[in-house]
Structures are given as structure tokens and as C-alpha cells.
Structure 1
Amino acid sequence: MTVTLGHCPQADLPHPRRVALVGECMIEMRGLPGALFSQTFGGDTLNAAVYLSRLGAGNGIVADYVTAIGADAFSVAMRQLWRDEGVGDQHVRVIKDALPGLYFIQTDDQGERRFAYWRGEAAARRVFDGPEADDVLRALADYDYVYLSGISLAILTAGGRERLMQALGQARQSGTRIVFDNNYRPHLWPDASSARKAYSDMLRLTDLALITWEDDAALFGYADPEALFGAYARFGVGEVALKRGPASCLIQCPTGRFEVPAEQVRQIVDTTAAGDSFSAAYLACRLQGGEPQQAARWGHTLAAEVVQHPGALIPAAAMPSLNMPVFSSVAEA
């Protein structure tokens, strides 16, 4: 049985749903300049991997992280964090002469965050460079799903990005489904036209797009969600979940258009990883048989909890209780 996101997978799938999440984990520093700070780890796809692993534990979802790290103490510690969270690391490259990227995070009184990055020489930039990457690239076709973001694309060398795109195309031909979270960060690209070209190529390979409205409006200049949905239909994306911060989520999929209201939050502490957690919960629900509307409710519920805590990863004990999906009887043989 080949499961697609156009039809909800059934509860009695004969094997786990294996997801490879491609990207970069960084050293996260939090505090005020010139003062003491706390240190942990984060990154958009790593955040999604952890939340997906938590939500999929015992429910037939296996989340593996695909990246490159150094051989330093920070790299060892972040890899141990992934293992502790149940995130697989068998396709993590170790580049001994490189280090992880680093960022400082500050939040204002409304919980909005500002970042300062040091990532130019990060190991993850070279994950798909050289013959040492061949096995990792081939392994992508062994997964049911590959999840990546616009940041995953932006940090790579030009050659590494091209090799990744080729591998994704080959994996998709063999039945792997591609999930893309746009996460557009202008400072990571040489110019907007380069980013638009890479995103357009990526969207032609995408089965499920998890899109932040402000990012795509800035990159492509869409006037409204209707224009975005029309463009994504022309790219051939089968399912689009349009994230709009505290506003409702809009969904376009083969069964129609839907709007799912967001949850109200009394006090926002930190909006870091709000979109990443939404995406992880949406995908977790879909992989367990939930319909798109229920997946969006999962996304809103988890994101609403995440923004009430500092940092990208909330304590496991703070994870909200999410109702198991009502499984569809429809699957594609």
C-alpha cells in the first residue's frame, strides 16, 4: 500500500511511517547582551522533528534527522538531545573540521523574537557536498516522507542544494512524499530572485506545503490567499495549509477549501517555534489518519501551548493532550 496525503492513511498500516527531516540544528543562546545567558539547541526542522517524534511515539511514526555536525562537545550534546527525544540520527554526517551554527534570541514584551546568527561556516551547509554525501542522498528514497524547509534549502552550498533537489525528485518517483515548510529568511539568500527560483523548483516536487502567509507574500508578492492557492495549484501541490499566525488556518486539498480558527492565548511568552510546532502537529495528525481540518486543530493546539513557554522546545510534560484522529476508511492501494 502506498499512502498519499491526498487520502488519509488507515490506522492499521503494515509498517511505521518513516519521516526524514532535513535541516540544521544550531546552538541557541538566550539572554541580554553583556549578561548571563542560557544555552540549548534549536532550528526549524529540528524543532519539527522533536515535536513529531513526541506526537508519533507509540503511534507508528519514526522521525529521523538528516544534517551534518562537527566533532566538538556542542555537536555531541545536541546529538544526544535528539536521541533522548527519540529522533533517529543514523543519517547525520560528522564533519570533523566544522562546528554547528549559533544564534542568540531575544524577545520583547509581546513575546516577539529577534535573532542574531553565526552560521556561515556551519557543518550543516556541507551536508550534501562531496562523495561522502552519496549514501545520505540515496537514503532519502527509503523514507515514506521527507520534510524540509526554505531554511534547509538556503543554508546549503549551491552544489549541495542541486544534489538534494535531484535526490528528492528521484525519491518522489519511487513513492516518497515531500513535505515543505516555506520559512523564507531573506538574509540567507543572495537575492530574492535566487530564492524564488529555488522555491519554485521545490514546490514542483511538493505534496504537502505548510506555508506561512507573510513569508510567501514577501517572496512571491501574492496579493491575497486566493492568489497563493492558485499558484500552488499550478505548481501541482496537492495539499496546502496556510498558516496566518493568530488568525485562522486556510487549507486547500483535493476534498475542498477549509478554514480552521486559531486558539486564543492569554499571554504570549515567546513565539519561537510556533510555526514549526504547528507543522509537526499537522503532519503527525495526517500520518495517523486525521483529515486536514483536524490536523489544523492539532497544529493550533500545540502552537498555542508552545508560545506560552520560552525557547523553541517546551518541556515534554507541557505537551498538550491531542485527541487521536478519526481514521478514514479511504486509502490508496
Structure 2
Amino acid sequence: MAGRLIAIGECMVELMQAEGGLMRKSFAGDTFNTAYYARQYLPADWSVDYLSAVGTDMISDEMLAFMEGHGIGTAHVQRIEGRAPGLYMIHLKDGERSFSYWRSVSAAKLLARDGDRLRTAIEASDIAVFSGITLAILPAEDVGTLLAELRRARAAGKRVVFDPNIRPRLWDDAERMRTAITEGARAATLVMPSLDDETAHFGDASLEETIGRYRALGVEELVVKDGGKGATLVFGGETSHVPSAEVRRIVDTTSAGDSFNGAFLARLATGESPREAARFAADVAAAVIQHHGALVAKDRLPNG
């Protein structure tokens, strides 16, 4: 059955290490990465769109062409004069990554300024995906606008997917961060947190505490990711666990969670059970972290 997934957030210019001390340019960002991997595994009769904002400069042109070249629609990406995409650089040490960011004039910070545009885009979709980073980059009033439209979508029966993806450096206040993440979860039908984030920033003492906290907010479906320990699923009131896939050598953990999210949502949307979807998504994430960069070419991923 045909459908449409829309991912909401910020795509950035990505600089990653290459041979000889050189840097390689690409484009990535958490919700865009999720859209990319969902596109790899959704059938052709499904559309995948991105909702964001870019500038009117040359690098923005390149970014839009990159999205479209990978099958991701850009009709809901605004062009804003005087703004530009943000940029980040990946630093690697033993396969683990850290980042440097330059995003002070990022156009994506204005993606939720127009509530009517948001509503039109979300209403035309079956699945809407957003993250804690989406919320972190927005002005407080625009966070309210976005969450209101997502609550409307949830009430209309759409699947609203939220990855808290907690990045404290993006927030000016820890309590505001926790409040926004909590309200993001209230707007969602499916929440896909990482257990280490929840432990570090909400003080959860156990997996059960994380699940209980989100269930108390009215979240119907949960996928709690726990790195090499796998993922715990809560669907239909039943809890189950799916182990992680075997990884021969970790090269770059960038986009591990995003690729899991995209592959999981694609399989779930096309009728697989949550457990089947999570097993496949674990295989995809395992393949991704054995290569450099956030976006791994389709021929290096598990067959869909």
C-alpha cells in the first residue's frame, strides 16, 4: 500500500576524514539520515520527503540536488535569503565519533516559523519523524508551533515518530531541554530513545524506569536502543528484546541510531512485525558502522 514519510529537521554539510589528511564533503543530519535509510528500504510507491529550510547559496543548491538524487523530496524545504546550511566535522578515535559544529546562521532554525506550511506537509503524510535535535535548534515559540501540528497529526491517526537524540550542547538550559524532550514524547505515537541518553539526562536507573516514564506520558509504542546490547520493544502492551547484530570491526558509529530508525520504520510501514523490523534494522546499523560517514551506499547495506 502506497504511503508517505516526512522527516523534519536539519540537514548539514558533513566533513569527514579521508586519506592523506584530506576531508570529504557530504550532507547529513539525524532526521535526514533516517529519511535516507527509510528510502533505501521502502517500496517505490512510498514517498519520502524532507521538511527543513536552506539558504539561496550554492551549497544549498548542492544539498537540494543531493536530496533529490537520493530519492528524497524537497518540496517542503524552504529557501531563505541570507541563511545557509550548518556544517559539522566528524572526529574519530577508535571508531567512536565526536563533532565540531558551525550552525549560527543555519536556515533550518526557521523551519517551523510558518505553521500553515507545517500543517500542509504533515497532513499529506502517513508517518512524521522528528527528533530532539529538531526541537533544540528551534526558537521556543516555534517548538510550540511544531508540537501543536504533530499533536494534531497524532490525533488524526498518523504515526508520529520521535527520537529524543539528546544533545545537551544544543540547549541553553538543561531543564528546558528535559521539558522539550518530554513534550516531544507526548506528541508522538512511537518514541525511539537511546538508553544511555535517558540515564545520563533524566537520571533513569534502569531500562524499566525509562519505559515506565515514557508510557506514563501516553506513548503507545517504544523502541529503546541500547547499543551493543540490542533494543527493547514495547508494542501492543507487550515487551520484547532484539539483540544487536554481529560487527566485525567498528569504523565509524556516526548514524548508527539513525540508520536503525530508518530501516525499522520502513519495515514496520510495509507490514513486518516490530520484532522482524528491529532484527533487520540491527543488521543495517551493524553494516553502517563498518563504514565511514553517516550515509552508506545501498550496495554496502543488507539487501532489502
Which letter maps to 1:121?
Answer: V
Q: 1:233 aligns with which of 194, 205, 215?
A: 215
Counterpart in the other structure of 1:328 = none
AA of the residue aligned to 1:19: L
Partner of 2:9: 23
Mapped partners of 2:63, 2:107: distance in 1: 13
Query: SS where residue 85 of structure 2 aligns?
Result: coil
Question: Partner amino acid for 1:222?
Answer: D
State how far apart, in whole Å, the 2-side matches of 1:253 and 1:134 are. Answer: 32
5+ residue gaps, structure 2:
none
Q: Distance in 2 between matches of 1:261 and 1:24?
A: 30
Q: Does 1:178 align with 2:164?
A: no
SS in 2 for 1:211: coil
Per the TM alignment, residue 138 of structure 1 is displaced from its structure 2 partner at its CA by: 3.2
* Alignment check: 8 A CA contact 2:118 2:146 kept: no
Q: 1:168-198: per-residue Cα shift (whole Å, max 9, x none)?
A: 1222222222100110000101121101111
Select the residue among 240, 244, 257 that pairs with 1:258. 240
Counterpart Cα distance in 2 of 1:253 and 1:136: 28
Give the SS at the match of 1:246.
Answer: helix
Query: Does the aligned pair in 2 maintain the 1:19–1:62 contact within 8 Å?
Result: yes
The CA RMSD over aligned residues, in Å, is 1.5
Distance across 2 between alignment mates of 1:241 and 1:171: 20
Q: Give a deviation string over 1:102-145, Cα, whole Å, max 9, x none.
A: 01111112x1001000112200001122x5x5223332122111
CA distance in 1 between counterparts of 2:224 and 2:274 reads 12
Partner of 1:221: 203
User: Aligned pair count?
Assistant: 303
Counterpart residue type for residue 179 of structure 1? V
Q: Following superposition of structure 1 onto structure 2, how do residues 34-183 of structure 1 map, counting pairs within 5 Å?
A: 35-58=21-44, 60-109=45-94, 111-129=95-113, 131=114, 134-183=116-165
Gaps of 5+ in 1: 1-12, 323-333
> Aligned-pair distance for 1:316?
1.9
Residue 175 of structure 2 aligns to which amino acid in structure 1? S
SS at match of 2:302: coil
1:61, 1:287 within 8 Å by CA — same for their partners in 2? no
TM-score (norm 2): 0.96
- Which residue of structure 2 lines up, in the alignment, with residue 206 of structure 1? 188
Counterparts of 1:275 and 1:175 in 2: how far apart (Å)? 26
| Code of the aligned partner of 1:231 | R
The residue identity in structure 2 corresponding to 1:143 is: S
1:331 equivalent in structure 2:
none
- Work out whether residues 20 and 143 of structure 1, in 8 Å CA contact, stay in contact via their aligned partners in 2: yes
Decide whether the 8 Å contact of 1:141 with 1:172 is kept in 2. no
User: Secondary structure of 1:18's match?
Assistant: strand
Q: When the two structures are superposed, what TM-score results if normalisation uses the length of structure 1?
A: 0.88
Q: State the SS of the aligned residue for 2:129.
A: strand
Comparing both structures, which one devotes a greater share of its residues to helix? Answer: 2
**What is the rounded CA distance, in whole Å, between the counterparts of 2:152 and 2:238 in structure 1?**
29
> Is this contact kept in 1: 2:118–2:149, CA < 8 A?
no
Amino acid at match of 2:105: E
CA distance in 2, matches of 1:237, 1:215: 18
- Please say which of residues 249-258 and 266-275 is displaced more in the overlay: 249-258
